[in-house]
């Protein structure tokens, strides 16, 4: 360890911030709230909503888009570049100053208002990584409308589920996305989703890209550019701090995704605070989150936080590899003088696979880069070490979730940089009181693994509910341990105060940094007419972290060829969830291992599939089945 740097327990400045935020949360966060521009400054810290949830700054009033744009112009950043669009797949680089972005957002908000969108209305976005996606989100925020972005890699059925839950007045989409060199038409997917959904939006606004033209349905579909060109700019609409800014659907343990609701005020304060404390940024610097606007990382760190903090943000429509090669990230850093890069470990595992010695890095000057941030899945020590050796930079793992919207644990470089421990996300961010609890709700000893929980109240910016389902919110997150938020991750804290997140304790898996529900895939596989029962679970994968694997029991007397059935199952999941699910393996077995009470033993299945040692559970109804499955899996 570097003796000049502190550890969490030994760091005085960090411990002081944690104590202040933990012991006097109202004082601490009202003081942070004073650092962003409000229409009406809040005087209330945390209070309870009608469902018993913790809500921040209830009497505050603001407009998030105004804060992210107009307020920056007022602070003298009008001519500073706000957004850099870098698209190797279309050979485009485009820069928008704060003044230009503000004007485009105001005009797009005008076009939305012209389609009847107002405060509290929902707008679904199904967009590739183009500036209009960012502009569309901010335009909703300007009107006080609630956006819900659906990741472009999801299939029509997923989009339909979200449309029916959010019930949008308008949908924003584009004619196509581009995956490396493949043009993916989006409009047929949107049309199919609208056919499947029972909710009917009033209108859609479609961005026509030159790579593919979309058929527009008269009366329902409108051309984006034409409507925006004809619109008058709309003024920002004041909203309460507790009003929703967006809904972002994320995978839970069932087939129905959870619509995580984010508020305006707490979110703005958390975004601002995190840019300083978690990322150590200064206004005017260049921040690049190499993610997608369809994920929470994109919401928080491509769009909102960098702009609210006065930085320049990079929107990258490309991959870490193949666009055109594994030097892509280094090229973007050099070209835009990026000061901090944030991506998922899987992206660097892909780079490392193609350029293990970093030969491509040698072609670029990345001296602007101060730190590398990784999240979305566990940063495995080999990838950490490779990045460290290659760049010599701080390589900082941090842990968070769609629900929290920002880092629960990080190396708080804006307060005090701590010595890095591979495999650990370092320490709870001030404001997050993290506890490791055992099954009885008792605190675990240092190094003892348990459920990672956060003591209430959660700090500003965290989930303000599940859209339209307060009961599910309580049940999923707050019912297991009284007074705590259940993260769904398992982990431990070591003797120095370092937090290690070891993986999900539920049916959520993480494939290439994408959060997916095995329960949902199971529902799809089980719907095949020849399938009697099935289990889908995550197995380790060197590149993507995890991949789903399905074990399938066929109905008695099934005459269809097994290979044909497995092909159909793979196609069904791709068709219904999307290519991102990466469900490529289904294995037919005679039976599934179960407890005597009929529960499938998924943990043992995972261990067998990963080739790990496993203990035969005493509750199993038929132990012989395990070796049978092991043999079956080795054949694949």
| Residue ranges in contact with ligand COA by CB under 6 A | 152-153, 177, 179, 184, 291-292, 295, 297, 319-321, 344, 346-347, 350, 376, 512-514, 579-580, 582
507 lies in the binding site for ligand AMP (CB under 6 A): no
Nearer to ligand COA, 264 or 402 (CB): 402
Asked if residue 214 lies in contact with residue 128, where contact means CB atoms within 8 angstroms, the answer is no
348, interface contact from ligand AMP, ligand COA, none, CB < 5-8 Å by kind:
none
Relative to beta strand 484-493, strand 450-455 is antiparallel
Q: If you count DSSP H runs as helices and E runs as strands, how many of each does the chain have, helices first?
A: 20, 31
Residue 609 to residue 517: CA distance in whole angstroms: 18
3-state secondary structure of 516: strand
Q: How buried is residue 39: exposed, middle or buried, by Cβ count under 10 Å (0-12/13-18/19+)?
A: middle
593, interface contact from ligand COA, ligand AMP, none, CB < 5-8 Å by kind:
none
Residue 289 C-beta: closest distance to ligand COA, Å: 7
Stretch that binds ligand AMP, among 108-116, 393-401, 436-444, 605-613 (CB under 6 A): 393-401
84 lies in the binding site for ligand AMP (CB under 6 A): no
Nearer to ligand AMP, 311 or 501 (CB): 501
**Residue from 102, 104, 510, 566 that binds ligand AMP (CB under 6 A)?**
510
Residue 346 C-beta: closest distance to ligand COA, Å: 4
Nearer to ligand COA, 573 or 629 (CB): 573
Total site size for ligand AMP, rule CB under 6 A: 20
Residue 543 C-beta: closest distance to ligand COA, Å: 6
Contacts of residue 101, Cβ cutoff 8 Å, sequence gap at least 6: 69, 82, 83, 134, 135, 138
262 lies in the binding site for ligand AMP (CB under 6 A): no
**Residue from 160, 268, 501, 609 that binds ligand AMP (CB under 6 A)?**
501
Q: Which helix (H) or strand (E) holds 86?
A: strand 81-87
Nearer to ligand COA, 316 or 484 (CB): 316
Q: Which residues pair with 551 in a beta bridge?
A: 535, 587
349 lies in the binding site for ligand AMP (CB under 6 A): no
7, interface contact from ligand AMP, ligand COA, none, CB < 5-8 Å by kind:
none
Stretch that binds ligand AMP, among 312-320, 328-336, 391-399, 539-547 (CB under 6 A): 391-399
528 lies in the binding site for ligand AMP (CB under 6 A): no
419-478: which residues touch ligand AMP (CB under 6 A)?
Answer: 425
Residue 246 C-beta: closest distance to ligand AMP, Å: 14
336, interface contact from ligand COA, ligand AMP, none, CB < 5-8 Å by kind:
none
549 lies in the binding site for ligand AMP (CB under 6 A): no
Nearer to ligand AMP, 297 or 531 (CB): 297
Residue 310 C-beta: closest distance to ligand AMP, Å: 25
300 lies in the binding site for ligand AMP (CB under 6 A): no
Nearer to ligand AMP, 64 or 250 (CB): 250
Q: Binding mask 395-414 vs ligand AMP (x if CB under 6 A, - otherwise)?
A: --xxxxxx------------
Q: Which residues pair with 203 in a beta bridge?
A: 170
Residue 286 to residue 565: CA distance in whole angstroms: 50
Nearer to ligand AMP, 192 or 444 (CB): 444
Tokens of 124: 């679904």
Residue 576 to residue 583: CA distance in whole angstroms: 11
3-state secondary structure of 231: coil
250 lies in the binding site for ligand AMP (CB under 6 A): yes
Residue 376 C-beta: closest distance to ligand COA, Å: 4
Distance (Å) of CA 303 to CA 69, 309, 312, 367: 11, 11, 10, 25
Cα pseudo-dihedral 601, 607, 613, 617, rounded to 10: -10
Q: Which residue has the tokens 């975004």?
A: 271
Residue 207 to residue 204: CA distance in whole angstroms: 10
488 lies in the binding site for ligand AMP (CB under 6 A): yes
Contacts of residue 343, Cβ cutoff 8 Å, sequence gap at least 6: 289, 290, 291, 320, 329, 373, 374, 376
Residue 386 to residue 379: CA distance in whole angstroms: 11
Nearer to ligand AMP, 296 or 629 (CB): 296
Nearer to ligand AMP, 257 or 488 (CB): 488
8-state DSSP, 16: H
**What's CA 256's distance to the chain center, in Å?**
17
377 lies in the binding site for ligand AMP (CB under 6 A): yes
Residue 318 to residue 316: CA distance in whole angstroms: 6
**Residue from 296, 314, 395, 569 that binds ligand AMP (CB under 6 A)?**
296
402, interface contact from ligand AMP, ligand COA, none, CB < 5-8 Å by kind:
ligand AMP
Contacts of residue 64, Cβ cutoff 8 Å, sequence gap at least 6: 141, 239, 245, 264, 267, 268, 304, 308
Residue 212 to residue 623: CA distance in whole angstroms: 56
Footprint of ligand AMP on this chain (CB under 6 A)? Answer: 250, 296, 375-379, 397-402, 425, 488-489, 501, 504, 510, 515
């Amino acid at each position: 360890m570097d003796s000049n740097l502190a550890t969490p327990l030994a760091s005085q400045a960090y411990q002081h911030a944690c104590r202040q935020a933990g012991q006097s949360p109202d004082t601490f966060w009202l003081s942070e709230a004073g650092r962003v521009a409000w229409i009406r400054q809040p005087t209330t810290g945390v209070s309870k909503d009608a469902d018993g949830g913790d809500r921040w700054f209830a009497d505050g009033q603001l407009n998030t888009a105004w804060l992210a744009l107009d307020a920056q112009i007022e602070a003298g950043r009008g001519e500073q570049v706000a957004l850099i669009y870098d698209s190797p797949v279309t050979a485009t680089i485009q820069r928008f100053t704060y003044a230009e972005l503000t004007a485009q957002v105001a005009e797009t908000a005008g076009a939305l208002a012209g389609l009847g969108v107002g405060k509290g209305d929902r707008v679904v976005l199904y967009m590739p990584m183009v500036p209009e996606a960012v502009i569309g989100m901010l335009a909703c925020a300007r009107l006080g409308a609630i956006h819900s972005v659906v990741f472009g890699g999801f299939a029509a059925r997923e989009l339909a589920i979200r449309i029916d839950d959010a019930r949008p007045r308008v949908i924003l989409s584009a004619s196509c996305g581009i995956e490396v060199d493949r043009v993916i038409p989006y409009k047929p997917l949107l049309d199919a989703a609208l056919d499947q959904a029972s909710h009917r939006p009033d209108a859609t606004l479609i961005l026509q890209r030159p790579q593919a033209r979309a058929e527009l349905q008269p009366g329902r579909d409108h051309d984006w550019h034409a409507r925006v060109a004809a619109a008058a700019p709309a003024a920002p609409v004041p909203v309460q701090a507790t009003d929703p800014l967006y809904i972002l659907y994320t995978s839970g343990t069932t087939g129905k995704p959870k619509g995580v609701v984010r508020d305006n005020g707490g979110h703005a304060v958390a975004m601002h605070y995190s840019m300083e404390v978690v990322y150590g940024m200064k206004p005017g610097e260049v921040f690049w989150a190499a993610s997608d606007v369809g994920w929470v990382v994109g919401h928080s760190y491509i769009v909102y936080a960098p702009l609210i903090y006065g930085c320049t943000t990079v929107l990258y429509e490309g991959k870490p590899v193949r666009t055109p090669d594994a030097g892509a990230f280094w090229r973007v850093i050099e070209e835009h003088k990026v000061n901090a890069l944030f991506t998922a470990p899987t992206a660097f595992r892909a780079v490392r696979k193609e350029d293990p010695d970093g030969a491509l890095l040698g072609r670029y000057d990345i001296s602007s880069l101060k730190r590398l941030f990784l999240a979305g899945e566990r940063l495995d020590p080999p990838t950490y070490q490779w990045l460290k050796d290659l760049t010599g930079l701080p390589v900082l793992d941090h842990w968070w979730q769609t629900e929290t919207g920002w880092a629960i644990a990080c190396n708080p470089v804006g307060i005090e940089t701590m010595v890095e421990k591979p495999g650990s996300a370092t320490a709870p961010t001030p404001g997050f009181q993290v506890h490791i609890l055992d099954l009885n709700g008792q605190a675990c000893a240092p190094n003892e693994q348990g459920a990672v929980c956060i003591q209430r109240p959660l700090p500003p910016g965290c989930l303000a509910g599940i859209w339209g389902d307060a009961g599910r919110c309580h049940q999923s997150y707050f019912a297991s341990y009284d007074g705590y938020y259940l993260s769904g991750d398992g982990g431990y804290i070591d003797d120095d105060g370092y937090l290690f997140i070891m993986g999900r304790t539920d049916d959520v898996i993480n494939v290439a940094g994408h959060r997916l529900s095995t329960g949902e895939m199971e529902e799809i596989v089980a719907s095949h007419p020849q399938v009697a029962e099935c289990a889908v679970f995550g197995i380790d994968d060197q590149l993507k972290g995890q991949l789903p694997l399905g074990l399938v029991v066929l109905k008695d007397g099934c005459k269809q060829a097994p290979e044909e059935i497995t092909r159909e199952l793979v196609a069904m999941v791709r068709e219904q969830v999307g290519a991102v699910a990466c469900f490529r393996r289904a294995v037919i077995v005679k039976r599934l291992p179960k407890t005597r009470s009929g529960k499938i033993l998924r943990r043992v299945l995972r261990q067998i599939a990963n080739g790990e040692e496993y203990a035969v559970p005493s509750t199993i109804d038929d132990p012989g089945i395990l070796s049978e499955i092991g043999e079956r899996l080795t054949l694949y």
